[in-house]
Homo-oligomer: A and B are copies of this chain.
Amino acid sequence: MSQQQISVITLGVADLAVSRRFYVEGFGWAPVFENDEIVFYQMNGLMLGTWLKAAMEADMGGAPLDGRSAIALAHNVEDEAAVRALVDRLAAFGGKILRPPDAPPHGGFRGHIADPDGHPWEIAWNPAWPISPEGYVTFGL
């Protein structure tokens, strides 16, 4: 039995400055570390890393990582208006809207937007899932 823990999500990026603008100016997040090939953001109990894609490909065995796989990240906000506002803001800082915000069948409200490298984010309001002041998210029905 290994701890139920994810330590890092790493996203491959083509241009660190373009990616940094989306995360720092779009989301408003502060890097905890950065050099000329990677930027780390301290998240809610885990790290988000944006790493030059060529370095990431080399590290992972050399195969090109330029397709679109079935993986999505979500970021939760406090209400429907905040979903709309953040999707608009991210679009202004290099994001591409994949699905304009609407209400899913299970309740709440959400939209999908890709970062400048095509990594998809769901921006969601989900009233059933509590979030602590530190950002720790708990499952709820």
Interface residue ranges, A against B (CB under 8 Å): 1-13, 27-30, 32-33, 40-48, 53, 56-57, 59-61, 63-77, 86, 98-99, 104, 112, 117-120, 122, 124, 126, 129, 131, 134-139, 141
Contact = CB atoms under 8 A, between A and B. Distances in A.
A72 B10 contact: yes
Contact of A42 (B4, B48, B60, B76): B4
A134 B93 CA distance: 35
A85 to B, nearest CB: 9
Contact of A3 (B47, B57, B112, B135): B135
A1 to B, nearest CB: 4
A99 B63 CA distance: 12
A-B pairs, top 5 by smallest CB distance, nearest first, are A67-B67, A12-B70, A45-B45, A1-B28, A5-B135
A27 B30 CA distance: 32
Most buried by B among A4, A12, A120: A4
23 contacts: A2-B27, A2-B75, A2-B77, A4-B27, A4-B43, A7-B129, A7-B137, A8-B74, A8-B122, A10-B71, A10-B72, A11-B70, A12-B70, A32-B139, A33-B139, A45-B46, A45-B134, A45-B136, A46-B136, A60-B98, A60-B112, A61-B99, A69-B118
